[in-house]
Amino acid sequence: MGETANQKLMKKGAEASLYTAYWHGRKVTIKKRLPKKYRLPELDEEIKTHRTARESQLIYEAKRAGVPTPSLYFVDVGNAAIIMEFVEGKQVKQLLGEITEQRRRDICIKIGESVGRIHRCAIVHGDLTTSNMILNPEGKIVFVDFGLGEKSADLESQGVDLHLMKRSLESTHFRFAEKCFLHVIEGYSRIVGSKTAKKIEDRIEEIENRGRYVSERKGRQKSVHN
């Protein structure tokens, strides 16, 4: 994978570690999947390889679909490492509370448009939280971490994708979560069309109703049998 310099651990997750480094003079992020002692080495190898390849593929396809994502520099499947562009900017999670309502609306619409673009290309992100979106200096919102993503055109998986976005807004930005999500759907609808957007909204509601979260089930009659 060539020389990297000044490698520094940025974040240690349950599945992978993120490092910043310099690679051929560029500032990069290296995402490296860690071996898991609990599983057999051959299974571990298979899972890491598969996920590294899939994540790289999704980052690339999302970019082709018109969604800003980090540029891939090197995919080292054997070492389960992805070397990609270091994205400058601020996490949407950090700035959403500090800006005007108008600005918030614009950002949420942009996010919705991007989600619409990847869904239109059968890509599900899998972890649409505002910490996985970075506002870069050019004013673009870059989607990062496709580690839980998959290729799917199913209404169900796309519904779950947006449902998770809604949940994450509610847990981190509860004061304006509802409005923000409406704007996300507004942007989404611009890309996929109002008919598809309506279908997704209905599905999200269905997911919430059957879902595991108590707050969303409040007011619903408990299903009792005797």
Q: Which is nearer to other proteins, 5 or 224 (CB)?
A: 224
End-to-end CA distance of the chain: 64
3-state secondary structure of 143: strand
Q: Which is nearer to other proteins, 54 or 190 (CB)?
A: 54
Q: Which is nearer to other proteins, 5 or 40 (CB)?
A: 40
* Of residues 93-122, those binding other proteins (CB under 8 A): none
- Using DSSP bridges, classify how beta strands 150-151 and 123-124 pair: parallel, antiparallel or unpaired: antiparallel
* Of residues 13-52, those binding other proteins (CB under 8 A): 13-15, 36-40, 42-43, 46-47
Minimum separation from the CB atom of position 63 to other proteins (A): 23
Q: Which is nearer to other proteins, 15 or 85 (CB)?
A: 15
How big is the site for other proteins, counted in residues (CB under 8 A)? 26
Stretch of residues binding other proteins (CB under 8 A), selected from 17-25, 54-62, 78-86, 208-216: 208-216
Backbone region of residue 66 per phi and psi (left: phi > 0; alpha: psi in -120 to 50; beta: other values) = left
Q: How many residues does the chain have?
A: 226
Q: Which is nearer to other proteins, 152 or 196 (CB)?
A: 152
Active site residues: 127
DSSP string, 13-71: -SSEEEEEEEETTEEEEEEEEPP-TTS-HHHHHHHHHHHHHHHHHHHHHHHHTT---PP
Q: Tell me the backbone φ, ψ of residue 155, rounded to 5 degrees.
A: -60, -40
Among 1, 148, 155, 177, binds other proteins (CB under 8 A): 148
Minimum separation from the CB atom of position 108 to other proteins (A): 23
Any residues with CB less than 8 A from the CB of 169 and at least 6 apart, and which?
Answer: 130, 177, 180, 181, 184
Angle at 192 (CA atoms; ends 190, 197), nearest 5 degrees = 90
* Of residues 156-195, those binding other proteins (CB under 8 A): 164
Among 126, 143, 159, 173, binds other proteins (CB under 8 A): 126
Minimum separation from the CB atom of position 38 to other proteins (A): 4
- 77 counts as binding other proteins under rule CB under 8 A: no
CA–CA gap between residue 114 and residue 219 (Å, rounded): 34
Minimum separation from the CB atom of position 164 to other proteins (A): 8
Q: Would you tell me which residues interact with other proteins (CB under 8 A)? A: 13-15, 36-40, 42-43, 46-47, 126-127, 148, 150, 164, 212-214, 217, 222-226
